Structure 1
Amino acid sequence: MATGHTGTLLRERRFAPFFWTQFLGAFNDNLFKNALIILIAFQGARWGADNQDVLINLAAGLFVLPFFLFSPVAGQLADKFEKSRLIRLIKLWEIAIMVLATAGLMLQNLWFLLAVLFLLGAQSSLFGPLKYGILPQHLKDEELVAGNGLIEMGTFLAILLGTILGGILIERADSGPLLVSGTVLLLAGLGYLTARAVPRAAPVAPDLTINWNLFSEISRTLRFTYGNRTVFLSIIGISWFWFFGAVMLAQFPAFTRNALGGNEYVGTLLLAAFSLGIGLGSILCDRMSGRRVELGLVPFGAIGISIFAIDLFFATPGSVEQDALMGPVAFMATDHAWRLIIDIVLLGAFGGFYIVPLYALVQQRSEPSHRSRIIAGNNVLNSLAMVLAAGFAILLLGWAGLSIAELFLVLGLINVAVAVYIFTLVPEFLMRFLIWILVNTIYRLRAEGLDHIPEEGPAVLVCNHVSYVDALIVAGSVRRPVRFVMYHRIFNIPVLSFIFRTGKAIPIAPAKEDPEMLERAYERIDEALAEGHLVCLFPEGALTSDGQMGEFRRGVERIVRRRPVPVVPLGLGGLWGSLFSRHGGRAILKLPRRFWSRIRLTAGAPLAPEAASPEALQARVAELRGDNP
């Protein structure tokens, strides 16, 4: 049975109880937090608050601060102990905190409630490393994108619903505190019940000695994140997203009132549009990535974020003149409403395209024994980014005197610079983006039998050679990174050369052209296999000139004789006649005859090294390719 689709995961015990546990937790956090903020803003004077603005900002800081302080210890606990038991204990703590919250509401003591909010932040900070550390233990690699997409969708939906319900309940002046108390206790209890159904997740570092020194552990946790450069830079990318999102979302209330002339319900509408966009983008990630961690979606998401953040500036009306604040119906009747809503929805959607693959990449490429601590390091940097976001907004809005719309413009432009910088440091993101664009705009690809390719360990892939983009299609289909061996003249084609070099392709030349390059290529192939990589060859040695397969050369025999590894045959079909093939003239230097044509890639069962003769491989690849080259 197929696994990994979002609807399927929500019906399975290995994912569904955890999803609802984290959903109810995020819902409860935001319900209580927003109810407290609204209580301070509108009823604070009656409850003894002298300066509501200070208390509101203090409340926001007190909730975020524990993520910085306690995430490193939380990461250690998540690595050392069995995760489902920890989740149940944390949910019991949530019940206890909500009992304290009820007491604070009944006593009408704001300072006590602020202390409760700090405890709630501490409880959530302990859940964070478990939240992303447990997914790789319960899900397959090809399910990580779907799982992370659902978690992100659920989190933002919970934030939206909690924020709305918290405001509705507390605004009832007489019964509000009682309604909030009953609701948070109910949600905490439901969260504990769903947590009881979360399957066991074995400890990954049971011998770990817990370091309770918060500050030395913060330093050590951050060092863990530095250990893998790609993972660390992915965490920087995630932290930038939370910086960006914190600045954007914090401006919605004032933006609604001052720039759009809308009331608080219009502000809720904008928040709902953003949350809908995040959910939509997060869910579409699974479909658009072909159930794999598709790094090409990260630049795609970054581009969209910049476009729609910048367009928010241009879509904002110059001035709004009315006697009273508009409600949602009056707002939607204005000329600028739909453009603004579409911008915000698409801003959220592209945010989903950006963030979900990054989370999945961190989970997939982190050392399992340190995964929760690396995620804890991610939480530390994320919380630091959100604190800096508040200072950044204050600086530009207060000191520099920018309007909120101008702040959106600056954010969009800075996002361009940050994205370029990250993609320069990790060119794999841009390489995957170019491959993803190519495969999904020019062709409609059907891939079959890819489960024959080993999930780990070395193997040689052999494939027929129809076009200049064969390597890109294979690279865009196989879940693992692939090292390609290719004719040096193809390797040096402009633009494509960037992709090949970034993917660490191995250029090769025939002995009559460059015997030294040939020998270097064989050495590099053996090194790649020794390191456990997949290596792909095109044994024909040249593109087909008539659509028929050429004779396979004997290089594969030499490779597997020196390093005995499985050999997986691949068959490409449907590419003959495309722009990048030699059908009808030289490849590329001709007018394209078709776009979005159907192509296929089929993998066969691996051959043992001793059975991988050129003749046997050619016959098997021809069979997999089929009658349509």
Structure 2
Amino acid sequence: MSGSQFQLLKQKRFSPFFITQALGAFNDNVYKNALFILFAYQLSSGAAEDVGLLINLSAIIFILPFFLFSATSGQLAEKYPKFLAIRRIKLLEIGIMLLACVGFYLQSIPFLLLILFLMGLQSTLFGPIKYGILPQYLQEKELVGGNALIEMGTFLAILIGTIVGGNLIAIDNFGPAIVCIVIVAIAITGYLSARRIPSAEAVAPQLTINWNPVTETWRTFSFMTKNRTVFLSVLGISWFWFFGATILAQIPTYAKHTLGGEESVTTLLLTFFSLGIGIGSLICERLSGRKVEIGLVPLGAFGMTLFSIDLFFANHATGALPELSASEFLQHWSNWRVLIDASLIGAFGGLFIVPLYALIQQRCDRQYLSRVIAGNNILNAFFMVLSGTMAMILISFNVTVPEIILITGVLNVIVAIYIFTLVPEFIMRFLVWIMVNTLYRIKLKGLDKIPEEGACVLVCNHVSFMDALIIAGCCRRPVRFVMDHRIFKTPILSFIFRTAKAIPIASAKENPELMNQAFDKVAEYLEEGEVVCIFPEGKITSTGDMLPFRGGIDKIIQRTPVPVVPMALSGLWGSFFSRKDGPAMGTIPRRFWSKIRFTIAEPVPADKATSNYLFNKVFELRGQTP
């Protein structure tokens, strides 16, 4: 198992696929950006309206195959070994690139748009494989890192392809010919790399292909909607592509008629945007602690809105003449604000999309994953068609490109709030992530001891009101907490507890009915294979010492025998949320970013998991620091 995401790049189970998909993204963007520059500066009339309409039409044509053929490609990805399918797709890419050379020679807009459609078809076939293959090669704890590398590689390829395509096509007289040589050479290199991808079994070889795209699309959506969280994550990804496609499609016109830049300024702006997404994707694993941390999604959505709106205010002129080269553009400090906005839009976009892809891979049934990814691609395509259509309608009503960017930023916050309302787990995880990473520095030991699959019970000492949030913030799997009903009702925190499906409990003397309901709910969660956490002391310590474990844990294990994982928190005594020197949260916090330890031991079999035995294990883990 790799120690960091970058170690995956050295492993044969990942690196050939990483290189293959990066080369494919590179080739797509050499061609697309060369084409857009050709449209913007050579083959069109040059008017802002004509350029804008032609480029937005190109964007629609490229993603149209996703909308038409994704359902079929999802079935093919399930039925046949993915490594063989990738090789055939890369052979198809070589043929398409040879046709592209004919298009550049003819300089025919309809023919070049046809090639763009064929490239979209090739990407449609590759899409379900791209994300469906990762869980076959990676462990669950590697999914965030693997997805981050794929996104980073993709957008670095976009970055380099954008630069190469824009610069090569601008070479006087020989630009199209040089572009042709490059795209064919990269297609051949991609095929050679694909031949090194390790073999992997087909996940559904018995599947009968339904070639009717309409009925299969409907069936694909039925797979996708079985899991509400997965489906809404797909909606979130699709919205990201609406947002990103809208912003990216406006950049050439924005660079030319708002910033007054030549082709090199368009390339520069796209470079900063793509580089931002790559950086955001890479830091995602570090911020998430090598788990699927969906709390980063609201943070990403907020940043995308903030900096897209600021991009409008940074420069919203229109009708400028393309006079500035990239070096001249960089000499004006006000233009650096535009570049910083572009890069931060991309960076927060990376934080938004990487956890969503990892969440789908984590929570979706493996035998349906490629078809769910295909359904995701259909929705992505639909949203991108809407994006291009919206932009073309707005342009026809004389809405300027900077105003389109502003409208997109405002729409982003509206849609994000709607999605987070439907799935409050995103906001809950965001609040947990903010609290844990603001208040504490956690030294974590033994996280891999918690089983990745199947039911288990976590037991831990109880020092503060933050204990459950710290545990939830560190664990890779969703945890259902059993907690005192008064803590469950704590203002602000109660939203988090309810959203996390915590289980309120009371003593037999106080409320026997609530206690019985709690034990029934625990049994139900465990029978469903979930993780349940209890604090067997029954209340938060008021002295810093551990209290004896009550018999609730014995009752739980007797009813549903599952492994029990002992855990201990140290260093929280004396914090704002502990009961040292009086009631918790009764004074102004005396310290932030405190050092605490969270230690986890090997699971204890159900037949040994008595309250006394578990108390001694937790006491030993805790050490001398309460």
Q: Residues of 1 paired with 2:190 and 2:265: CA distance?
A: 31
User: Aligned partner of 2:539: which letter?
Assistant: A
User: Once the 2 structures are TM-superposed, how far is the Cα of residue 52 of structure 1 from its aligned partner?
Assistant: 7.9
User: Once the 2 structures are TM-superposed, how far is the Cα of residue 515 of structure 1 from its aligned partner?
Assistant: 0.9
Q: Which residue of 2 aligns with 1:374?
A: 372
1:90-489 matches, cutoff 5 A: 90-106=89-105, 110-316=109-315, 325-399=323-397, 401-489=398-486
User: Once the 2 structures are TM-superposed, how far is the Cα of residue 54 of structure 1 from its aligned partner?
Assistant: 6.7
1:593 aligns with 2:590: yes
Q: Residues of 1 paired with 2:152 and 2:202: CA distance?
A: 27
Q: Residues of 2 paired with 1:593 and 1:58: CA distance?
A: 59
User: Once the 2 structures are TM-superposed, how far is the Cα of residue 256 of structure 1 from its aligned partner?
Assistant: 1.9
> Aligned pair in 2 of structure 1 residues 407, 104: CA closer, same or farther (>3 Å)?
closer
Deviations 1:395-452 (A, max 9, x none): 33432x4333333332222212111111110011111001100110000012111211
Contact 2:57 2:388 in 1 (8 A): no
Q: 3-state SS of the aligned residue for 1:336?
A: helix
User: Once the 2 structures are TM-superposed, how far is the Cα of residue 131 of structure 1 from its aligned partner?
Assistant: 0.4
Q: Residues of 2 paired with 1:276 and 1:381: CA distance?
A: 26
User: Aligned partner of 2:299: which letter?
Assistant: F
Q: 3-state SS of the aligned residue for 1:484?
A: strand
Q: Which residue of 2 aligns with 1:508?
A: 505
User: Aligned partner of 1:544: which letter?
Assistant: T
Q: Which residue of 2 aligns with 1:542?
A: 539
Contact 1:5 1:286 in 2 (8 A): no
Q: 3-state SS of the aligned residue for 1:598?
A: strand
Q: Residues of 2 paired with 1:329 and 1:385: CA distance?
A: 36
User: Once the 2 structures are TM-superposed, how far is the Cα of residue 38 of structure 1 from its aligned partner?
Assistant: 3.7
User: Once the 2 structures are TM-superposed, how far is the Cα of residue 57 of structure 1 from its aligned partner?
Assistant: 4.9
Q: Residues of 1 paired with 2:200 and 2:129: CA distance?
A: 10
Identity %: 57
Q: Residues of 2 paired with 1:132 and 1:512: CA distance?
A: 53
User: Aligned partner of 1:101: which letter?
Assistant: A
Deviations 1:133-192 (A, max 9, x none): 001111111111111111112212222222332233233453333322221111011001
Q: Residues of 1 paired with 2:302 and 2:56: CA distance?
A: 32
Q: Which residue of 1 aligns with 2:554?
A: 557
Q: Residues of 1 paired with 2:576 and 2:56: CA distance?
A: 58
User: Once the 2 structures are TM-superposed, how far is the Cα of residue 247 of structure 1 from its aligned partner?
Assistant: 1.1
Contact 1:44 1:52 in 2 (8 A): no
> Aligned pair in 2 of structure 1 residues 37, 331: CA closer, same or farther (>3 Å)?
closer
Q: Residues of 1 paired with 2:551 and 2:447: CA distance?
A: 25
Deviations 1:320-360 (A, max 9, x none): 98x86222233223242222222221111111100100011
Q: Residues of 2 paired with 1:541 and 1:421: CA distance?
A: 38
Q: Residues of 2 paired with 1:270 and 1:33: CA distance?
A: 15
User: Once the 2 structures are TM-superposed, how far is the Cα of residue 276 of structure 1 from its aligned partner?
Assistant: 1.2
CA RMSD of aligned residues (A): 2.0
> Aligned pair in 2 of structure 1 residues 265, 550: CA closer, same or farther (>3 Å)?
same
Q: Which residue of 2 aligns with 1:18?
A: 17
Q: 3-state SS of the aligned residue for 1:461?
A: strand
Q: Residues of 2 paired with 1:402 and 1:39: CA distance?
A: 24
Decide which moves more: 309-318 or 61-70: 309-318
User: Once the 2 structures are TM-superposed, how far is the Cα of residue 214 of structure 1 from its aligned partner?
Assistant: 1.6
Q: Residues of 1 paired with 2:390 and 2:424: CA distance?
A: 28
Q: Structure 1-normalised TM-score?
A: 0.95
> Aligned pair in 2 of structure 1 residues 316, 4: CA closer, same or farther (>3 Å)?
farther
Q: Residues of 2 paired with 1:288 and 1:20: CA distance?
A: 25
1:529 aligns with 2:526: yes
Q: Residues of 2 paired with 1:562 and 1:107: CA distance?
A: 76
| Structure 1, unaligned runs of 5 or more | none
Q: Match for 1:570 among 567, 570, 573?
A: 567
Q: Residues of 2 paired with 1:202 and 1:147: CA distance?
A: 20
> Aligned pair in 2 of structure 1 residues 341, 53: CA closer, same or farther (>3 Å)?
closer
Q: 3-state SS of the aligned residue for 2:10?
A: coil
> Aligned pair in 2 of structure 1 residues 499, 58: CA closer, same or farther (>3 Å)?
closer
User: Aligned partner of 2:217: which letter?
Assistant: I
Q: Residues of 1 paired with 2:352 and 2:51: CA distance?
A: 36
Q: Residues of 1 paired with 2:34 and 2:329: CA distance?
A: 25
Q: 3-state SS of the aligned residue for 1:447?
A: strand
Q: 3-state SS of the aligned residue for 2:561?
A: coil
Decide which moves more: 608-617 or 156-165: 156-165
> Aligned pair in 2 of structure 1 residues 540, 473: CA closer, same or farther (>3 Å)?
same
Contact 1:317 1:336 in 2 (8 A): no
> Aligned pair in 2 of structure 1 residues 252, 52: CA closer, same or farther (>3 Å)?
closer
User: Aligned partner of 1:581: which letter?
Assistant: S
Decide which moves more: 390-399 or 235-244: 390-399
Decide which moves more: 9-18 or 163-172: 163-172
Q: Residues of 1 paired with 2:119 and 2:527: CA distance?
A: 49
> Aligned pair in 2 of structure 1 residues 419, 61: CA closer, same or farther (>3 Å)?
closer
> Aligned pair in 2 of structure 1 residues 169, 266: CA closer, same or farther (>3 Å)?
closer
Q: Residues of 1 paired with 2:70 and 2:310: CA distance?
A: 36
> Aligned pair in 2 of structure 1 residues 252, 183: CA closer, same or farther (>3 Å)?
same
Q: Which residue of 2 aligns with 1:490?
A: 487
> Aligned pair in 2 of structure 1 residues 170, 278: CA closer, same or farther (>3 Å)?
same
Decide which moves more: 230-239 or 106-115: 106-115
Deviations 1:503-544 (A, max 9, x none): 111110011111111111111111111111111110101111
Q: 3-state SS of the aligned residue for 1:599?
A: strand
Decide which moves more: 533-542 or 214-223: 214-223
Say how many residue pairs are matched: 622
User: Aligned partner of 1:602: which letter?
Assistant: T
> Aligned pair in 2 of structure 1 residues 61, 18: CA closer, same or farther (>3 Å)?
same
Contact 1:4 1:291 in 2 (8 A): no
User: Aligned partner of 1:552: which letter?
Assistant: F
Q: 3-state SS of the aligned residue for 1:274?
A: helix
Q: Residues of 2 paired with 1:418 and 1:156: CA distance?
A: 24
Q: Residues of 2 paired with 1:320 and 1:337: CA distance?
A: 17
Contact 1:170 1:176 in 2 (8 A): yes
User: Aligned partner of 1:340: which letter?
Assistant: V
Contact 1:4 1:146 in 2 (8 A): no
> Aligned pair in 2 of structure 1 residues 310, 132: CA closer, same or farther (>3 Å)?
same
Deviations 1:62-100 (A, max 9, x none): 321111111111100111111101111111111122223
Q: 3-state SS of the aligned residue for 1:444?
A: strand
Q: Residues of 1 paired with 2:30 and 2:224: CA distance?
A: 32
Contact 2:443 2:596 in 1 (8 A): yes
